[in-house]
Structure 1
Amino acid sequence: MKFIYTSILLFLISTLSFSQKKNVDSLIVSAIEKKESSYFKLQKHFKRVRFKEDQIEKLLKESQKNNYVIGEIFARNVQGRSHRNVTEYNKSVEKYKEALNLSKEIKSIEAEIVTLNQLGVVCRRQDKIRGALNYHQSALDIILKVENPTNDIKISNSITINSIGNIYLTLGQYERALEKFSESIALQKQLEDRRGLAINHQNIGYAHKNIGDLDLALENYQKSLEYNRLNNDKLGKVICHNSISDILIKQQKYNEAYEYITEVIESAEEIGNRYYLSEVYNTLGWSLLKLNRLKESRGYLDKALKIGIDNNIPSSLVLSYDHLSELNEKEENYKESLDFFKKSIEVKNKTFNAKTIRYVNSLISKYDSEVNNNKIKSLARENEISKLKLLRNRNILIISLVSIALFGVLLYSIYRQRLLKNDKQILLLEQEALRIQMNPHFVFNALNSIKLYIINNEQKNAVYYLNKFSKLIRNILESTTVKEVALSEELKTMNLYMSIENIRFSNEIAYNEKVGDDLNLERIKIPPLVLQPFLENAIWHGLSSKKGEKKVDLTIEKFSKEFIEINIIDNGIGRDAAFKIKSSKSLNRKSIGIDLTKERLKNFSNEFINTYSLEYIDLFDENGKPNGTKVSLKLPIV
């Protein structure tokens, strides 16, 4: 009896498969017969069809045989998508470029827009951000030139905006990404595009996750899942379950996360998209790790790692290495844990360099909506000039050209004035920062301390510190005339500063400087007096209320080829205790130097490929009690 049921089931499956193949074949035949000129109508003709490799090849050959170029473009795009879904990105790009060239040859705007967007998606998957941006921007330029866009063009517009939002996600510009996704959602709601709404809510969830709004992220992932259920989109459901499970792990709901991700394991393996399969394996492995099911966890994480390595998926590799590092730490395999951690950092650094973040960020600012409007206006002006050339005589044309030239000069003048204004603001900011850096209270108290030496007839001490004070003031005044100084000069000034401040603490503060042997302090340049506010905070907030030994250590070492790291470490009472003391005082010292210093560091970093970073680290002793504060400042040197 069991054999009979099995035979019937196999017969039904084979019949259904044959029926589906016959249906696809008939759709190919009817498409070749109709020779639909609209790319979007041809897409709808094959709506929900999942082509097999031989069927795509048949569509391509029949289209070529019957000189049906739109059909050939569609077939090559389907091939590109098939290669992309199994992470064969180079083959995917090759097929999409063939489709793009054909689209340009026959001047099919619809096919060109779709293909450009698909190329952008592949580049983004490979972390080739510059290429992705160029392809999506080219698609957007074409769309904006269409006078009366159809609903299909509007859907393509929303896809392009969504893709640019995804680029912002990759660059970590989450607020700008959310603006793009909101813009895309508004279009999709008008068009009732449920698939687009599912994708956008997924992207919005990802942005909120990275901002730290886990509840909002979860809410948007669940909205996306609802749309994917309505669309019966298996891959969409897999992506949503994976994202929801990730949030639940971060919320420490490990059992719930495990249940969510296991629901889609079979679907993910059946679909075969290696990019998302690696993500699912990583998330499942991570949830098992949190549940201390370490052996099972390792199995799935190893699977995810193999897919990431075989298919060169950087984002998957980073997750696999991070989770395997945590797993080995739990198993007390500390060497392996460290090795995986280093590999994760290495992949992150490679990805960072490949994106050339600073270049792309500056490029993005040129591709926002305002520039697109300017391009349209520019085209309108060019059309107007062309009409004037045909309708007016030579004299009128010459006058028009002169007027345009004058207008250009005026625009250039306005542009130059704005540049000068910005430069002036930066200069004023730096000068204001330099003036405010040296707190007037410090000058007053330092003079009072020196005065005390004079009153007590301690002439040597008075003269000694007065000389130091005069040198410090001279250094400050000289700093106002320069934008940057050698690091060696900055250290001398800080040494003077700490000597004067130490008078009020009866020279109880032990100030030490330690510089790496591989550093040339004369060649390294930094903004003048940029370290003073951090030393002032260490003294006034960390050490002024501390009893016993007081010390401040300033260390400088080469962090990498591109950065130096400056650490200011005090053994004070810690930030929490300092804040409580400050809150209880009726008159608080206002530290405005730090905010100004951050602005100066930002302006200073603009001249380098990399940017600065500033981190405050609370220090604790072996008993877990506050034991001071560490300020870590990384400055670019190339």
Structure 2
Amino acid sequence: MSIKGVCCLCLLLLGIGFEGVAQDSLRVYRRLDSIRQLPDDTGKVALLIKKGKSNARYFDSSGTENLFWQEAVRVSQLLKYPRGLSLAYNELGTNKRNKSQYIIAADYHEKAIRQAEETNDTVLLAFALNNAGVDNRRMDKLQQAFDYHLRALALAESIHDTRNICVATNSIGNIQLTTENYGEAITHFNRALQLEEDSKNQLGVAINLANLGYAWQGLHQEERAIQYFKQSLAVNQKIDNPTGMAICYNALGAAYKEVKDYGTAMEYLEKALVVNDKVEDKVHVAESYLNIGKLLGAQGRHEAARQYIQRSIEVSTYWNFKSMLMEAYKALAVDYKSSGDFRKSLEATEKSLLYKDSIVDEKSAMVLAQMQAIYEVDRKNMQIRNLEHDKMVNLLRTKRNVVITITLGAFLLMAIVGGFFYIRHRNLEANKQTLQLELRSLRSQMNPHFIFNSLSSIHRYIWSNSQEEASDYLTKFSRLMRLILDNTQHTFVTLNKELESLRLYLDLESLRCNGIFEFAIRVSPDINEEEVLIPPMILQPYVENAIWHGLVHKQAGQGALDISIVLKKRSLVCTVTDNGIGRKKAMAIKERKGRVHTSVGMKVTEGRIDLIRKINNKEANVQVQDLEDEAGQPLGTSVVITLPAEFIF
């Protein structure tokens, strides 16, 4: 065939491919539109979840969100149907986990847990807990994963739910395997194996047999491990599971290599290469080539070893398996070193480290992207709730206006007098609403400022390679973000919610500052924190100012930050006291650094307090006092914020 003919054939096939994709897309969206026409009820939710599963492959291949599950969430929220929400969140979370987006998956599964708790459905709750446990195990948060699975196990055992018992038991065994607690891992895998055999779940039997092999291998009992790998292989062959067979062949090859039975090891690794042709995930092909290369290297056959390692590199490069590339170049470096070629060993080591750095960078970027995605989803959900609330308020206002119109028609004389007072009242309400809009505007200025500072801290931890600190910081930061999203939708929040977010913020700043200060929050015993109201994020700017302009520059002694809240008559008095360097020295440091400016958070908060005073016509002010000893030396700063006391009742 000529080149022209080949090009025409390619264009024809490409056109057919595009036409097929377009038809699939049209079919999916027509199906979704037809379901949307149905009345909103629990049956519609169940249908949406079912269709979401059957069309999941289309959405995954197109790189878009599963609109069926998203619609199931919307309808369930409208119906206040927690079971539907839990089922939909479980599907969304599992889908994200399959794409390695573990943070988003964990967020969805935590939502599924909360909704399942409202249904009193123990099976559904155990299922959601197991899902959350798997998410945390994939993120190496082993203690959290263990807690989720242990809770799921207790619930499943209470109702004899075999499926969730198997999942929880196997997962706990995997956690023990990861932490090298092989004895406990074997106990859990044996129990899970027995349950899977009783349930006649052959795939579960194969998985637990292989896990037992890895556990015995960890105890350096290779012969026993080999027996379990062979049993797992037999089950995988029986159910014709190519992926399981490839895993077992590779495991057997590695095990026989450890006992120096190189011939048998090579036989199993070559079998792995054959069966890999039936497996979609080509990472197993790269792994088999790499294992053969290591095996040949152990026999001193370095030239042949490098050829197989190079094949592993070629496959991994084509499919962009960065972790496998890192391991392959590492093995290549070891092989060159053992044969005395140190220059090439160094080159291979440098390439391995480059891929390692690339993996770390990708993980950091993925974490930030997932946090942003969670924030955007929560923000949109909040907007939807606010729109529904506004719609209800407008409906009530419409009804009120109808009643007023009828009343005015019946009482004409009273309407004239009432009209005068109504106009006057409307003007006052308009003025009050204007002030409230200004107050919301000031809050929206302060929150991005605070979030920017927190993200800067996370960025610093990630670039300093402090992975555990970064993970801890991200966890607390995500909780704080959730509180901020909830609290800042309202003009006032309860004192306990405000103090919860403040404590989280202080924990984050303490981590960020390496524990250079201690803090204490004291609330007067006569204050009920669940009844007293306070403007959200009103204290945080003053606390931040005390830390970064007072305590951070303190040269000697432990920094201390004290926050006290008392009720004086009809005023809530909040005092923020630090033992830092004082305002004069802080200003001198700023001048030396050439950064003299007014804190954005402080300026915005002062504006908020001024508006609160105008709206309520009550005492609201801020007083700053420099603390000094008898010799006039600075002892710190005290800020007293006085606000009008507001109560729920």
Which TM-score band applies after superposition, normalised by the shorter structure?
0.3 to 0.5
Normalising by the residue count of structure 1, what TM-score does the alignment of the two structures yield?
Answer: 0.42
Normalising by the residue count of structure 2, what TM-score does the alignment of the two structures yield?
Answer: 0.41
